[in-house]
Amino acid sequence: MNPNLQLSLSQQLKLNPQLQQSIKLLQLSQLALQQEIQYQLDSNPLLTLLDDSYSESKTAGSDSNPELNANLLANAFPNNRNTNNVEAPANSRHIDSGQQHSTYSAHNDGEMSLENQFQESIGLREHLEWQIQMSALSRADMEIAYYVIENIDDAGFLTVSSQEIIEQIQQDFDHRFDPDEVEAVIHQVQQLEPFGCASSNLQQFLLLQLHLAIEEASSPQQPTLKLAQKLVRHHFDCLCKHRYPDLIKRLSLTRQEMDNALSVIQQLRNKPNHQYIGEVTEYIRPDILVYNLHGSWHAQLASNNAPQLDINHQYAQALRQSNNTYDKQYLQQNLQRARWFMQSIEARNDTLKRVADWIVQHQQNFFDCGESALRPMRLKDLAEDLKLHESTISRACSEKFLQSPTGIYELKYFFSNAVPSTQGGEWSSKAIKNIIKQYITAEPSRKPLSDIELANRLQEEGITIARRTVAKYREALNIPPSSQRKLFTNS
């Protein structure tokens, strides 16, 4: 085999640095974009931040529509019933079910409350350790307390036994503590704030709360509290399984006594870390604002979330006057980087504005009538109309949020599959889910609608879908079947 040389021509598509940066910026969320802008400001001396850009943008609105001012935006939300799109916590009816906490809310003023600043600066374990350092424990007990705190989970429960804590200390320091001493320190940690941290399980945490309530309660409240304590201590399994008639019969109680005791138990917390210390509330800053102008809905970029950038003219002047080759090359490279970055930011805003305008224009009925009027949309349709690639549309909609008078929605929320209607036109799958939810909400509690009955009602609306499709939509809404929704009254 003899070596030889061959010459061939080929074409390859390569992205230049500016295009790569534009693609990267387009898919960033609002928070990630601010971090990237701050990084560029710190690393590039030719890039600077215009003075008072934040305050000016907050009052002046978007540059893309100078006719709008702060008063117009304020009038765009006259009946903002649910701007934050936050659901109220559901009241727990069982001792083993927790409250629901929404993670979505609007935060437009750019300032954080003292509570959130405290949450960012300290976690649950750090908060407990600080209290231990302020206590009068001995050095040995303080070391035990540190090991106890290290083994507490985010909910505040102790994840190991006292024997395992003893083994951990012995392995690290070759010293074995007495089990009673460890239990005493665990009890000390349980008295800290939040109260009940280091409880081994829910039952122990409930008993700690009841014991404290009995000590502080007046005489008329004592019998009910002690009955609740007895139920939790000796009949916890029956409580979890809701076998209340068996408990009434076994303990010779009246229905009123049982109801009073259950009411006390249901008011107790189900996790020690009720303050969520260490969990930072993540606020959503909308990228798009939707407003109503003369009966039509329009989109506007929320430009107050991004600072206004410019070239540092002092360094640009130094570039023109410099005779040093190295300095001139360094400044020239950073000047090009600054221009590319500013152009990429403009391209991002332009693409996001075009996508938002298209979505709002095609979803006018949604903003007027709600989710049941949501039209089906596909990325392909939007890409064809805007002469963009589907991947570009996907990046533009990723982690971007729109604020309307009815709430905050992710841009991807507006895209859904189409279901043909027998009466002409198409239905969005999300609109069908909303109709199913409305049917179930209005159904009789003693005779809930089955999936077949739901499919028949949808048929009357001109929506022809199979029973299994109704079941799939119902499960996506976390709604149990009719057999589980039926309410039975205790005889």
Q: What is the DSSP string of 361-409?
A: HHTHHHHHH-GGGPPPB-HHHHHHHHT--HHHHHHHHTT-EEEETTEEE
**Of 78-87, 166-175, 228-237, which has the strongest mean pLDDT?**
228-237
Percent of the chain with pLDDT over 90: 3
Buried-state track 240-265, b at ≥16 Cβ within 10 A, e below 16: eeeebeebeeeeebeeeebebbbebb
Model confidence pLDDT, tens digit, residues 262-304: 888 888 888 887 765 545 556 778 889 999 988 899 998 886 6
Our CA angle for 138, 139, 142, nearest 5°, is 85
Residues facing residue 157 across a β-bridge: 199
DSSP secondary-structure letter at 461? Answer: T
Tell me, rounded to whole angstroms, the distance of Cα 405 from its chain centroid. Answer: 20
φ and ψ of 299, to 5 deg: -115, 145
> Which has more confidence, 283 or 369?
369
Q: Which range (23-37, 87-101, 274-288, 438-452) has the least confidence?
A: 87-101
Closest CA to 277 of 133, 117, 159, 134: 117
| 309-311 and 47-49 strand pairing | antiparallel
Secondary structure string (H, E, C) spanning 279-315: CCCCCECCCEEEEEECCEEEEEECHHHCCCEEECHHH
Strand partners, 47: 311
pLDDT score, position 27: 83
The answer on pLDDT for 335 being more than 90 is no
What percentage of the chain exceeds 70 in pLDDT?
77
Query: What are the tens digits of pLDDT across the range 324-334?
Result: 778 788 888 88
Pairing of strands 401-404, 288-293: parallel
C-beta of residue 403 within 8 angstroms of C-beta of residue 106: yes
Task: Kindly state the tokens that stand for 158.
Answer: 């102790």
Average pLDDT, whole number, for the chain? 75
Q: Which domains does the chain have, with CATH numbers?
A: 17-65+284-413 (no CATH), 123-190 (no CATH), 202-266 (no CATH), 416-485 (1.10.10.60)
pTM of the model: 0.51
Q: Tokens 């982690």 appear where?
A: 399
d(CA 193, CA 362): 52
